[in-house]
Structure 1
Amino acid sequence: MKKLVLSLLTVAALSTAALAQSTPVKFGIKAGVAFPNMTFSANGASFSYDTKTSYYVGGTVEFGLSDLISIQPGLTFIDKGTKINSSSFGFDNDDFLTDDDATLNFKYLELPVNAIVNFKAGNAGKIFVGAGPYFAYALSANAKMGSEKEKIEFEDAGFKRTDFGLNFLAGFQLNNGLNIHAGYGLGLGNMADDEEAKAYDASIKHKVFTVGLGFSF
């Protein structure tokens, strides 16, 4: 798996270097608040756990193909997961001997590649919208309830470390490079990775809404 990740990063780096030789390049940084949750399905039934609040931080490289179109790969560290509130499913908190919500936390290194469409907004700046695929690799994970926290071992817990999906984003950028943006990540990869899950045709997928600030220079 490490060889796969290194290979993907190498290909991305070589492609970036080749593209940079022939197109205008802008570098950027970004950070903000993330609102992830996870969807579970099995045997035709599906449901979503509650959204938790987390964060993301990362960098981008934007290659201008024209005044209208640009390509923007990046690298993002993001905390995904979900909140599990027993009251949402009709359980009595006494069954769990606690009033604390539980959270699942997955920390990913994510590689998105987005196609961006830019629209001038008078003399103030530009509006941009975009979409593209992403590949992510989980660096670590844990489950937390109250003051108790337990590390999630991916193979033992039946989770995959890798994930992939689609990004959608939009925002407004001032002429000085400062931007405000929002995005949505739709996970397409099935996180479930054990024989019992396969027997029930089970799938676990990430969804995340993000909003934040960035700067391009």
Structure 2
Amino acid sequence: MLLSPLFAQTILPRAGVTLSTSSYEPYADFAEKSEKELLTGFTVGVGYDFFISDRFSLQPEVNFIQKGSKRNDIAYPDSYEYKLVTGYKLNYLEIPVLVKAKFGGVTKFYVTAGPTVSVGLSGTYSLKSTFAGLPEEPISSKVKFSKRPENYDGYDQFADNRIEAGVQVGGGVLLFGKVNVEARYGHSFTGLFDDTDFKNRVIQFSASMPINLF
């Protein structure tokens, strides 16, 4: 009985929504006005909560997660408004390894923190522009985690770095002993491109249902 809390194990199927942005500023030297929008996506996966003590546990996870960036840049050449709306939606397989600290009485609270490694799977890119209120032909293409072919003249975006390293911090509450509701913030330290600053920033809101193995 004394050993059971130390070796208790729980599986955590989880799902939620993501709100993401990035450090990407493609038209910083051109735009007179710029604003970022949070890009909505989703995440789904499973965690494995291995109890170290009654207050601390280690929680590795494997998650599918959507990240990306959307921004509006506006300039006024010859007093006419020129607006560019740029969007990236990126799909990753992400593996966080989180340390969880628990506290509280009847209602259980917890905080988490730890490193993450993400593997880029696929993505989409879009560019919409208007000049003097008149729309120009939009661009919609793929983001490919591969080397750009020689003499390629299409619109696909080729990401230099498939692997992303970062960190997550968050907190949550266990409701009724059955459902975890939590929020997290993820911050990447490595960029999508070698020659452009594009580091992902992601807020997650998720729920999980603990399943005790023993």
TM-score by length of 2: 0.74
Q: Which runs of 4+ in 1 moved over 6 A?
A: none
User: Aligned residue for 1:159?
Assistant: 160
- Is the contact between residue 39 and residue 48 of structure 1 (CA under 8 Å) also seen in structure 2? no
Cα deviation for residue 55 of structure 1 reads 1.1
- Structure 2 counterpart SS, 1:176: coil
Cα deviation for residue 162 of structure 1 reads 0.8
Q: Deviations over 1:135-182 (max 9, x none)?
A: 000110110347853112232224311101001010001243201100
- Structure 2 counterpart SS, 1:204: coil
Taking the aligned partners of 2:191 and 2:86, their CA distance within structure 1 comes to 22
- Is the contact between residue 49 and residue 58 of structure 2 (CA under 8 Å) also seen in structure 1? yes
User: Aligned residue for 2:49?
Assistant: 62
User: Aligned residue for 2:115?
Assistant: 133
Could you say if the C-alpha distance between residues 84 and 48 of structure 1 is closer, same or farther in structure 2, counting changes exceeding 3 Å?
closer
Taking the aligned partners of 2:67 and 2:35, their CA distance within structure 1 comes to 14
- Is the contact between residue 186 and residue 202 of structure 2 (CA under 8 Å) also seen in structure 1? yes
Which structure: greater helix fraction?
1
- Greater shift in the superposed pair: 183-192 or 106-115: 183-192
Cα deviation for residue 191 of structure 1 reads 2.0
User: Aligned residue for 1:216?
Assistant: 210
Could you say if the C-alpha distance between residues 135 and 95 of structure 1 is closer, same or farther in structure 2, counting changes exceeding 3 Å?
same
- Is the contact between residue 39 and residue 205 of structure 1 (CA under 8 Å) also seen in structure 2? yes
- Structure 2 counterpart SS, 1:192: coil
User: Aligned residue for 1:27?
Assistant: 11
Could you say if the C-alpha distance between residues 109 and 91 of structure 1 is closer, same or farther in structure 2, counting changes exceeding 3 Å?
farther
Q: Deviations over 1:117-149 (max 9, x none)?
A: 0002x32x3000010000000110110347853
In structure 1, give the amino acid aligned to 2:188: G
User: Aligned residue for 2:199?
Assistant: 205
Could you say if the C-alpha distance between residues 127 and 91 of structure 1 is closer, same or farther in structure 2, counting changes exceeding 3 Å?
farther
User: Aligned residue for 1:18?
Assistant: none
Q: Deviations over 1:190-209 (max 9, x none)?
A: 2223xxx2xxxx43211111
Cα deviation for residue 29 of structure 1 reads 1.3
Unpaired runs of 5+ residues, structure 2, are 1-5, 129-137, 149-157
5 Å-filtered alignment, 1:97-176, equals 101-120=85-104, 122-123=105-106, 125-145=107-127, 149-154=140-145, 155-156=147-148, 157-176=158-177
Percent of pairs with identical residues: 25
* Higher Rg of the two aligned structures: 2
- Structure 2 counterpart SS, 1:189: coil
In structure 2, give the amino acid aligned to 1:103: G
In structure 1, give the amino acid aligned to 2:60: P
Could you say if the C-alpha distance between residues 82 and 133 of structure 1 is closer, same or farther in structure 2, counting changes exceeding 3 Å?
same
- Is the contact between residue 143 and residue 150 of structure 1 (CA under 8 Å) also seen in structure 2? yes
5 Å-filtered alignment, 1:81-96, equals 81-87=68-74, 90=75, 95=82
Number of aligned residue pairs: 179
TM-score by length of 1: 0.73
Unpaired runs of 5+ residues, structure 1, are 1-21
- Is the contact between residue 35 and residue 73 of structure 2 (CA under 8 Å) also seen in structure 1? no
Taking the aligned partners of 1:176 and 1:190, their CA distance within structure 2 comes to 39
Cα deviation for residue 48 of structure 1 reads 8.1
Cα deviation for residue 94 of structure 1 reads 5.9
- Is the contact between residue 50 and residue 84 of structure 1 (CA under 8 Å) also seen in structure 2? yes
In structure 1, give the amino acid aligned to 2:125: A
- Is the contact between residue 39 and residue 49 of structure 1 (CA under 8 Å) also seen in structure 2? no
- Greater shift in the superposed pair: 59-68 or 78-87: 78-87
- Is the contact between residue 37 and residue 48 of structure 1 (CA under 8 Å) also seen in structure 2? no
